[in-house]
Amino acid sequence: MDGRSVLVTGGTRGIGRAIVEACANAGASVGVLARKPDELTETAAAVKALGAPVLTVEGSIGNPEMADAAVTAMMDTFGRCDSVVNNAAINPVFAPLMEADLGAVNKVLDANIAGPLRFTRAAWRAWMQEHGGSVLNVVSVGAFRPGPMIGAYNISKSALTHLTRQLAQELAPAVRVNAIAPGLVKTDMARALWEPNEGAMARAHALGRLGVPDDIAAGALFLLSDASAWMTGEVLVIDGGAGIAAR
């Protein structure tokens, strides 16, 4: 990733933070977008300690203006925007769809589907259309099957999976667009799913443990780098073997 610049949304914690550090360790300049200024400050210090250039942008993916603002900052600071990692997502709805507040559902769909499209379009117009690049969308294994209480989130990730393939077709051959689908990873966002009974949840995985953010970051780095130069429109599932574990 030497000489390239990567913009990561939601890059201050969990999977996003691990991807930021993996890209920095691989030689990339990194832009980080997140909502909390204290987390941005801490993340910037950590990336600088790795010896990588970094910029931070405070904002939410739900704000339609943030995509252009973040990509403009990348261009002003690094002169390029080679890759976008659409990692940030929201999940304020924890209820059956028949009971969920429709305003909250619409908020999930806008942030998790239209948000990645806005960031991809901004990078395409500013850099990728002429110079090429790669886009990585972070989806979920929930995109492939229904699950209780998080239907709105899973639907948004299913749509983002199809958006990945659609954009891969539209932006080829200059830009590769792939997705990564994590299984159950020990992050704050997923805490309600794994913390109450981690042992039992781990036994449901063929590899005997839950994922950690670095497990996903390794796959993300592969998809962003030239190691996957002949891949586009693909979804890489990293789930610890949950899909093949004995029931």
pLDDT of the residue at 246: 66
30 has which bridge partners?
Answer: 6, 54
pLDDT of the residue at 72: 98
Cβ(32)–Cβ(54) under 8 Å?
yes
Cβ(177)–Cβ(166) under 8 Å?
no
**Residue whose C-alpha is closest to residue 212's, from 233, 171, 183:** 183
Q: Which helix (H) or strand (E) holds 221?
A: helix 213-224
pLDDT of the residue at 202: 87
Residues forming the active site: 153
Strand order through the sheet with 5-9:
54-58, 29-34, 5-9, 83-86, 133-138, 175-182, 235-238
d(CA 182, CA 193): 14
pTM over 0.85: yes
Cβ(53)–Cβ(73) under 8 Å?
no
Q: Which CATH number is correct for 5-240, 3.40.50.970, 3.40.50.2000, 3.20.20.70, 3.40.50.720?
A: 3.40.50.720
Peptide bond between residue 64 and the one before it cis (omega within 30 degrees of 0): no
pLDDT of the residue at 4: 98
Rounded to the nearest 5 degrees, what angle is found at the Cα of 12, between the Cα atoms of 7 and 14?
Answer: 105
Per-residue pLDDT of the chain (247 residues; tens, 9 = 90+): 999 999 999 999 999 999 999 999 999 999 999 999 999 999 999 999 999 999 999 999 999 999 999 999 999 999 999 999 999 999 999 999 999 999 999 999 999 999 999 999 999 999 999 999 999 999 999 999 998 999 999 999 999 999 999 999 999 999 999 999 999 898 877 666 666 788 888 888 999 999 999 999 999 999 999 999 999 999 999 999 998 886 6
Cβ(183)–Cβ(238) under 8 Å?
yes
pLDDT of the residue at 198: 82
Q: Tokens for 82, please give them.
A: 């080679």
d(CA 37, CA 59): 9
